[in-house]
Each structure stands twice: as structure tokens, then as C-alpha cells.
A = this chain, B = another copy of it.
Amino acid sequence: MNLKQLSELLGLSQTTVSRALNGYPEVSEKTRKKVEAAAKQHNYTPNTRARGLATGRNHAVGHVIPLSTEHEVVNPVFTDFIAGASEVYSRENYDMHLTVVPDASESDAYRKIAAKGSVDGVIVHGPKENDPRIKLLREIGMPFVVHGRSGSTDEQEYSWVDMNNTRAFERATQFLLDLGHRRIGLLNGLETMDFAAKRRIGYRTALEQAGVTEDNTLCYSSEMTEEYGFSATTKMLALEHPPTALLASSIIVGFGVRRALDAADLKIGKDVSLIIHDDDLSYLRNGNSEPIYTATRSSVRQAGRICAEILMDMIVNPTRPAQHVLLDAELIIGHTTGPAPQG
């Protein structure tokens, strides 16, 4: 069913039917009701392409999700981020276009998306420090919001939604220091990523304030897999002075840590303490009523919702200045931390 058919059916012009459905005032309430009823009855929805062509607006946004070239890994937080964003899109009747690209060719992907002209805006995932995509998108003039921030790039110049990575890891480290831990290992994400760089800074700051010198043999940085958690932990445990506490950048890394401690017959939370960062993923809940892991927690899904809302707003209202949301992670106490063992 298309507009022409529907209008013929109703004995009205296409103009009138279109206006009726789009809420224009130049149409009587009576005809509007009639039109709406007929539209629903015949399951009429305006053809997206045609509407897009006519209006210049697509009612669609793009997500480009990077495929880590190193290990071909798609970060699992995307599912939840996208679930959050989708809530907003479906409420506003927007479509979501997804592109998965090797992160090397990401800039090209954005250029192509812009040229194809099928979306009104994009969300930038996984920003690195001084990420070239931000400059590119500004040049192109495509509305965008960044999930995270991009280091040295001026933060005022673009919209972003981020969590306070620095603060979160500073607090977590502080918490471990307060428990008496002095040798604290860090299993960070790839430090080319902005979030990981910021977490490293938080970690370092807390150590410095406590007068503990950072030890490079306790600092790891990699793609956040279970295997990484296992192998990095195993290596650290083999050190002459192994860590008594660990900070893991995700719950999945935390699973690997657990397995390594298990294999070494060390009790988690007693022999070795562990704090993870918990993105509050729906399928990887850190306990139900009570948290399992002590964690810094911030909902990625919520971040998705906020990003989407800001983007919608920017699309409708392009002149409004850039918006920034800094979410604070909460520190929640689970069963994986305890006082540093004496020795």
C-alpha cells in the first residue's frame, strides 16, 4: 500500500493524506481521523526512501563499530549500548544502520556513509586519543556524538557521553590501598583507547598520592579477553613479589583472573583481591541482589540511551551547542576484596 493507492481509496489527494498523517493543521479533524483509520487498517507506512528523498531527512542514524584488527574482536559492550540506544530510536521511530569495519579503515567508512547520505547522524564508538574521526565528521558536517572522549581533542568542540574513567580507577586503587595493598596489578584495556589511557592515569594518581611507585611489571594492556586475564595474572603470580590485588578492566578479564587464581590455588578476596570494572551488561550481570565482584560500575546501556537522545536532539536542532555528559561510576563492594595478607 502506498500513498497514491491510499489516497485514491479515500477519494482524497495525496497532499491531504500526507498532511493528515503528518499532523499538519490544514486538514479537518474529521478527515484526519478517517485517514488515520484507513492507514492503520491497510498497514500503511510511508516508504522510508521516498520520504527521505523528499525531506532530506532520513530518520536513521548510523553506528560504526570497529573490529579490532589485532584479534578480530568485537567489543561485547556494543550489544548493551545498542540495546540502550535502540530504546530511544524505536520511541522516536528512527532506524539504526550498523557498519562493522576493521578499525584501520574507519575514517573511510564515515566518509562513505556521509556520501551515501542515508543517515542523519552517527555515533562514534571506541574513540582513541586524538581521534581523527572527530575532525573528519566536523568537516563533513554530519551530526555525531562520541561514546567516550578523545584525549587531547578539545572536549568543548563535540558532543560526548563518557564515564569518569580516571576517577573510577583512582577510587578503586585508593580502596585497595586503604585495605593495605601495596602491590596492585593493573589489567588494563588497550591503552591506545582513550578510556584505558584515562584509567591508567587514575590508577597512577592514587598510587602517587599514597607514595607507592608504579611498577611496570604489574601493568598490562591488551584486548579485554578472558584469556588475557588468565595469562597476565599467571605471569604476575610468578613474579618474585607477586601482587596482592588486581584491577581488571572488565568482568570478562575478571573471569580470566579467577581462573588463574583458581589454578594457583589462591583464594580470591583473601589471598588476592580483585576489583573489576563492571559495564552492567545484561548477560553478564555482576550478581543479582548482591554483587559478586567488587567493582566500579557504570551502565553502558544507560550511556547508549543518553548518546541516542543527544544525537536525536542534535539532528532536530542543529544549531544547539555541543552537549557533554559525564557519568560517574559507583564503587560497589562484592566478595572479591579483603585486607592485604600479612607477610
A residues lining the B interface (CB < 8 Å): 1, 43-50, 52-53, 58, 60, 63, 67, 71-76, 78-80, 82-83, 86-87, 90, 95-101, 111-112, 115-118, 223-227, 252, 255, 258-259, 262, 268, 281-285, 287-288, 292
Residues of B within 8 A of A111 (CB): 43
Contact B117 A49 (CB under 8 A): yes
Contact A71 B282 (CB under 8 A): yes
With A44-B115, A52-B49 as given contacts, are A284 and B225 in contact (CB-CB < 8 Å)? yes
Number of copies: 2
Contact B90 A80 (CB under 8 A): no
Contact B82 A284 (CB under 8 A): no
Contact A83 B98 (CB under 8 A): no
Contact B287 A227 (CB under 8 A): yes
Contact B258 A115 (CB under 8 A): no
Q: Please, how many angstroms separate the alpha-carbon atoms of A306 and B77 in the complex?
A: 24
Which of A50, A101, A281, A282 counts the most chain B CB atoms within 10 A? Answer: A282
Q: Please, how many angstroms separate the alpha-carbon atoms of A59 and B252 in the complex?
A: 36
8 pairs of residues in contact across A and B, judged by CB atoms under 8 Å: A45-B112, A63-B98, A72-B282, A74-B80, A75-B283, A76-B283, A259-B292, A262-B268
With A99-B90, A259-B258 as given contacts, are A285 and B225 in contact (CB-CB < 8 Å)? yes
With A58-B49, A98-B98 as given contacts, are A74 and B282 in contact (CB-CB < 8 Å)? yes
Report the minimum CB–CB distance from A14 to chain B (whole Å).
16
Contact B58 A82 (CB under 8 A): no
Contact A74 B79 (CB under 8 A): yes
Residues of B within 8 A of A282 (CB): 71-74
Partner of A76, one of B1, B43, B79, B287: B79
Residues of B within 8 A of A98 (CB): 63, 82, 86, 96-98
Report the minimum CB–CB distance from A288 to chain B (whole Å).
6
Which of A74, A83, A111, A112 counts the most chain B CB atoms within 10 A? Answer: A74
Report the minimum CB–CB distance from A334 to chain B (whole Å).
12
With A48-B116, A86-B99, A99-B96 as given contacts, are A252 and B74 in contact (CB-CB < 8 Å)? no
Report the minimum CB–CB distance from A296 to chain B (whole Å).
18
